Amino acid sequence: MNRQHYSYTHYANRQVAEGFDSLRFSGPIGEMLLETQERLLMDAIAPLATHPVPGRPCLGVHVLDVGTGTGRAAIGLARAGATVVGVDASAEMLDVARDRAAAITDPPLDITFDVGDAHALPFPSEHFDVAVSLRVLMHTPDWRRCVGELCRVSKQRVVVDFPALSSAAALESLVRHGRRAFGAKVESYRVMSERAVRAAFTAQGYRVIHVHRQFVLPIAAHKAMGSRGFTQGLERGLAAVGLLWLLGSPVTVVAER
């Protein structure tokens, strides 16, 4: 795999790692994104729990978080009772994740962070109950290979997300690719079609059982407005006329073996 690809080089930086959460998840819209992400993960994973208890709906579930970054999803799942392994190609991002996890002692977390590449996961087949990979496929050099690895190491379910080809994110992606071609240091992510993602899972013997689309307008636009209430009201109106189904992004997909 090309280790000079921006998805490796951009995040191999302590300053980027330490500023990642505030850049992505600060403010009311960032908080809304995190709450939605946690709810979607709980809905996908909690039904697999062998002995859930109040406050720990994922107890007994073995989860792999691929591209864990600063560990937000991994830590949330561990707090819910899951046994979690988080892997990322960036040692710098993992340092931040370990620091965040170490600061949480109630409840104690069953969580491990290790360096690992989404294209070649260092685990046996069907080693985990669930494999999760959020905000990763949009950046990886070979996203289909990553889907194959996620499906290989999971016994039951895989959860991924991606910016939709039929959304405003497609225009932003095009602009970023153009800026990068002229030397700008930007994350020139890809947009993806739901059909292509479904086909990739089907090829691995999985079927998509749930699809969630979050926003019609770009996340950047909602962050610029900075009002959770306004965002919720506006997006409800757009969804009511069918635009969320047509243009919604990011898209979260749950697939089952």
* Under 8 Å between Cβ of 174 and 148: no
High-pLDDT (> 90) share of the chain, %: 74
Q: Which residues pair with 100 in a beta bridge?
A: none
List all residues 6 or more positions away from 54 whose beta carbon is below 8 Å from its beta carbon: none
Q: What is the mean pLDDT of the chain?
A: 92
Q: Whats the size of the chain, residue-wise?
A: 257
Nearest residue to 151 via CA among 115, 177, 175, 127: 127
* Residue 48 DSSP label: G
> What are the boundaries of each domain within the chain?
6-256
The CA R_g of the chain, rounded to the nearest whole Å, is: 18
pLDDT tens digits for 1-17? Answer: 677 887 888 888 888 88
pLDDT tens digits for 196-237? Answer: 999 999 999 999 999 999 999 988 889 999 999 999 999 999
Amino acid at 250: P
Q: Report the alpha-carbon distance of residue 65 to residue 23 in Å, rounded.
A: 21
Kindly report whether the global pTM for this prediction surpasses the value 0.85.
yes
**DSSP-derived secondary structure for 65-88:** EET-TTSHHHHHHHHTT-EEEEEE
pLDDT tens digits for 133-156? Answer: 999 999 999 999 999 999 999 999
First to last CA, the chain: 27
Res 184 pLDDT > 80: no
Q: Is 27 left (phi over 0), alpha (psi -120 to 50) or beta?
A: left
* Under 8 Å between Cβ of 131 and 150: yes
Q: What fold, for 6-256?
A: Rossmann fold (3.40.50)
